Amino acid sequence: MTGALAFDIAHMLAGGLVLASFMLLYQDRLHGLVNTYALHALVLTASVAWQAWAQGAPHLYITALVALVFKALVIPLALHRIIRRLGIHRDIENAVGTGLTMLTGMGLVALSMVVMLRVTAEADPLAREDLAMALAVVLLGLLMMVTRRNAIGQVVGFMSLENGLVLAAAGARGMPLVVEISVAFSVLVAFIVIGIVLFRIRERFDTVDVGALDDFRGERR
């Protein structure tokens, strides 16, 4: 398979990840949000596996497997259970409207393309675009965290941000496995802690709306 086609497919998968991030932005139902996150993780798996094949780096297959098992299966299933037990499976409110969020997302994609393509002007031209899309995924994950009121939405945003980082690391050659394992474990630990905290919040305040928490911070507005 020629090099150009390999890069085209890599770009296609990276572009698919950006599209999945956009899909995450406009989900307003919690179950749909978690399923879209599972799709996000699946596209990441495909992208990392393709990079493993194209670069001839077999340890990336393990990264892909970790992504598949943890991020596409375990975490979404656990999130579905948490949502059902918290009883919040009705719908989400965004803090900002959908149209404005999508336009801001477009602006962030443009920004990340401009920044990446200027900063890496002397690097390999075809890998730069993958990095630009990875940066776009990171920024879109941050945007998602900023525009969600529900804590679960913010958690999913954080995890999609981390997916973007994995994509960047896999695109640039030579990401050692130990980094991936430690990142994966730290995400898992963070996730467990967040789950426990969510239950405690819900017990205490009867809601997981982070806006409601402001009233209890001790600063009157």
Partner 1 sequence: MQAGAALLVVVGVLLGIAALAVALARRPRAYRIVYAASLAASLAGFAIALTALLSNAASFVVLPLGLPWVGARFAVDALSAFFLAVVNLGGAAASLYGLGYGRHEEAQHRVLPFYPAFLAGMNLVVLAADAFTFLLSWEFMSLASWALVLAHHREAENRRAATVYLVMASFGTMALLLAFGLMAGAGGDYSFAAIRAAERAPLAASLALVLALLGAGSKAGLVPLHVWLPLAHPAAPSHVSALMSGVMTKVAVYGFIRIVFDLVGEPAWWAALVLIALGGISAVLGILHALMERDLKRLLAFSTIENIGIVFACLGLALAFRANAMEWAAALALTAALFHVFNHALFKSLLFFGAGAVLTATGSRDMERLGGLIHRMPATALFFLVGALAISALPPLNGFISEWLAFQAILQSPALDGWGLKIAVPALGGMLALAAALAAACFVRAFGVAFLGRPRAPEAAEAKEVDRFSLAAMAGLALICLLAGILPGFVIDALAPVTRLAVSGAMPIQAELPWLSIVPITEGRSSYNGLLVFLFIAISGFGSAAVIHRFASRRLRRAPAWDCGFPVPAAATQYSAGGFAQPFRRIFGATLFAARDEVTMPPPGDMRPARLVTIIHDPIWERAYVPLAGAVDRLAGSLNRLQFLTIRRYLTLVFLFLVALLLVLALWT
Partner 2 sequence: MILDIAVQGAQMVLVLALAPLLTGFVRKVKARLTRRQGPSLIQPYRDLARLMRKDAVVAEGASWLFRAAPYIVFAATWVAAALVPTFAAGLVFSWSADLIAIIALLGTARFFLALAGMDIGTAFGGIGSSREMMISSFAEPAMMLTMFALALVAGSTQLATVSSVLATPEVGLRVSLAMALIALVIVALAEHARIPVDNPATHLELTMVHEAMVLEYSGRHLAMIELAAMLKLVLYISLIACVFVPWGIAPSGAGLGAFAAGALLWLVKLAAGGFLLGLFETSIAKMRVFRVPDFLGVALMLGLLGTLLLFVSRSL
Using alpha carbons only, what angle is made at residue 142 by residues 138 and 143, rounded to the nearest 5 degrees? Answer: 115
Judged by CB under 8 A, does residue 22 bind partner 2? Answer: yes
**Considering just the CA atoms, what is the radius of gyration of the chain in Å?**
18
Number of residues that bind partner 2 (CB under 8 A): 25
Give the shortest CB-108-to-partner 1 separation in angstroms.
12
Partners of 148 in beta bridges: 94
The smaller minimum CB distance to partner 1, of residues 100 and 197, is found at 100
Tell me how far, at minimum, the Cβ of 133 lies from partner 2, in Å.
8
Q: Which residue is associated with the tokens 């990875």?
A: 134
Instruction: Report the chain's terminal Cα–Cα distance, integer Å.
Output: 63
We find the least distance from the C-beta atom of residue 28 to partner 1, in angstroms, to be: 16
Phi/psi for 87 (5° steps) reads: 70, 25
Tally: H helices and E strands in the chain: 9, 0
The Cα 96–Cα 86 span in angstroms is: 24
In the bound state with partner 1, the residue whose beta carbon lies nearer, of 5 and 110, is: 110
Binding residues for partner 1 restricted to 113-142, rule: CB under 8 A = 114, 118
Cα separations (Å) of 28 from 31, 72, 112, 142, 149? 9, 20, 26, 17, 11
Q: Residue from 129, 154, 167, 168 that binds partner 2 (CB under 8 A)?
A: 129
Neighbours of 7 (CB within 10 A): 17
Task: Select the span of 44-52, 109-117, 163-171, 192-200 touching partner 2 (CB under 8 A).
Answer: 109-117
Stretch that binds partner 2, among 14-22, 56-64, 181-189, 198-206 (CB under 8 A): 14-22
Residues of this chain that interact with partner 2 (CB under 8 A) are 4-5, 8-9, 11-12, 14-15, 18-19, 22, 26, 98-99, 102, 105-106, 109-110, 113-114, 117, 125-126, 129
Question: Where on the chain is the footprint of partner 1 (CB under 8 A)?
Answer: 97, 99-100, 110, 114, 118
